[in-house]
Chain A
Amino acid sequence: MWSLLTDNWQTFLIGFWNTVCCSILALIFSLIIGSGFAILETNPNKFWRTIAKIYIEIFRNIPLLVIAMIFYLVIPQFWFKMNGFTAGTIGLTLYTSAFIAETVRSGIESVGDGQMEGARSNGMTYWQAMRYVILPQAFKIVIPPLGNQFVNLIKNSSVLAFVAGFDLMYQGDVIASSTFQTIPTYIIVGLFYLILTLPLSYYMQHLENK
């Protein structure tokens, strides 16, 4: 097993790096998109609420693998070409953003209407109140569940293996099928994932208990 690691460390590292890049990119974009839809979902205007609801329900109820496959195989047929990494990351971003939207929405709701009314009566516009009063408080509340979403995101990034995204899982598959040391290879892959996810989820537990 040790020799498996020393012989293929470059391949493992490339995979690890791609998984990290994909996770960070997907995290940033899904935070932006997710918060956007969360704000829309709490908007007084019914039209915006419906739009946000439709988006969230669609991406929450279709498997990530199917979403990634659609971006990889279907979209390039009428739109622009993208490689597996891009398609996988886009799929991951949209999928996660629906979950983040739900999390942030519950945060905004728990801040309470009183805050919004107070801010509005002090002369702030709706957007100002959202930006300076509601969102900062909401994010503080939802940091632990958001962290758990990030852990899920890292784990879910393994679907890149299905679309040739050169992530950790893909490289693991390649090594396993060329060395035939299936189980040891996947144990190493598992350790790499734990390096990313374990500290993060312990930190989130720590925050929750505080």
Chain B
Amino acid sequence: MDFGQAYSWINIQFLLRGLWVTIYVSIISILLSFIIGLILGTIRYTRVPILSKIVGFVVDIIRNLPLLLIIFFTYFGLPAMGLQVNPVVASIIALVVFESCMIAEIIRAGIASVPVGQMEGARSNGMTYIQALFYVVMPQALKKMIPTLLSQFVSLVKDTSLATIIILPELLYHAQIVYSQDTNYMIPMYLIIAVMYFIVCFCLSMFANYLQKRFDTKTN
């Protein structure tokens, strides 16, 4: 096997371009899905009469479907509703829709795990429900959720690879283009993208551990 040729600068450059797409799609999706997930999770937790029920229903449906299907729905379905999307936008929308529902569930469970006494205490000190939720309950909940949230973000980075199906020019897809030109490159390509994904995700996991430790020492 010709690893030297497979890892020629031209091919590596092409892969790095793919890696860049993976990273920026991931970053945008992580930011958006965290914000939306936070909102949805809070709505679901607070039991606003009809709204929470609707949000709960939608979140439950979406997070129980494979992401691959959500990608198809956004890419093939949105234009039918009059919204033209290219693969990059479609992938970001699909990832945000799916991951924000996953995150909403994490947030809901996280808030629910904070002892009721905290809320009651804050209320009895004169805070409104909203104030108590945001200043007392939420910070504690978020701290507890950091490991779960971060591992969800790692999943998001890995899940960008599914968007190859709609020709998002990300890492896996670029690797496939390289080895479709010369199939002898197949094994070297899979090796190197496995390493690249590993590095990105592992750094994110390490960052999660670091955050966790920092929060732990702060509270002690």
- Asked if A77 is at the interface (CB within 8 A of a chain B CB), the reply is yes
Interface of A is mostly: helix
Report which residue of A64, A65, A77, A156 has the largest number of chain B beta carbons within 10 angstroms of its beta carbon: A65
- Asked if B158 is at the interface (CB within 8 A of a chain A CB), the reply is yes
- Asked if A29 is at the interface (CB within 8 A of a chain B CB), the reply is no
User: Per-residue 0/1 for B200-219: is the Cβ within 8 Å of any A Cβ (1 yes, 0 no)?
Assistant: 01100100000000000000
Q: Contacts of B197 on A, CB cut-off 8 Å? A: 61-63, 66
- Asked if A104 is at the interface (CB within 8 A of a chain B CB), the reply is no
Minimum CB–CB distance from A125 to chain B (whole Å) comes to 33
Q: Contacts of B80 on A, CB cut-off 8 Å? A: 183
- Asked if B49 is at the interface (CB within 8 A of a chain A CB), the reply is no
Contact B66 A169, beta carbon cutoff 8 Å: yes
A42 to B205, CA, bound (A): 20
A24 to B202, CA, bound (A): 29
Minimum CB–CB distance from B190 to chain A (whole Å) comes to 5
Q: Contacts of A194 on B, CB cut-off 8 Å? A: 61, 64-65
A186 to B80, CA, bound (A): 14
Number of interface residues of A (CB under 8 A): 35
User: Per-residue 0/1 for A194-205: is the Cβ within 8 Å of any B Cβ (1 yes, 0 no)?
Assistant: 100110011000
Known A-B contacts A61-B197, A65-B172, A194-B64; A186 and B73 likewise in contact (beta carbons under 8 Å): yes
Q: How many contacts A-B (CB < 8 Å)? A: 95
Minimum CB–CB distance from B78 to chain A (whole Å) comes to 10
A183 to B73, CA, bound (A): 7
Interface size class of B (residues with CB under 8 A): 35 or more
User: Per-residue 0/1 for A154-181: is the Cβ within 8 Å of any B Cβ (1 yes, 0 no)?
Assistant: 0111110110000001000000000000
- Asked if A151 is at the interface (CB within 8 A of a chain B CB), the reply is yes
Q: Contacts of A73 on B, CB cut-off 8 Å? A: 186, 190
Known A-B contacts A69-B190, A182-B76, A208-B109; A61 and B64 likewise in contact (beta carbons under 8 Å): no
Q: Which 9 A-B pairs have the closest CB atoms?
A: A61-B201, A63-B158, A158-B66, A197-B64, A63-B161, A155-B66, A158-B68, A65-B161, A61-B198
Q: List 26 A-B contacts (CB under 8 A).
A: A60-B154, A60-B201, A61-B154, A61-B158, A61-B197, A61-B198, A62-B194, A63-B160, A63-B161, A63-B162, A64-B158, A70-B194, A73-B190, A77-B187, A155-B67, A156-B66, A157-B66, A158-B67, A169-B68, A183-B73, A186-B69, A186-B73, A190-B69, A193-B66, A197-B64, A201-B63
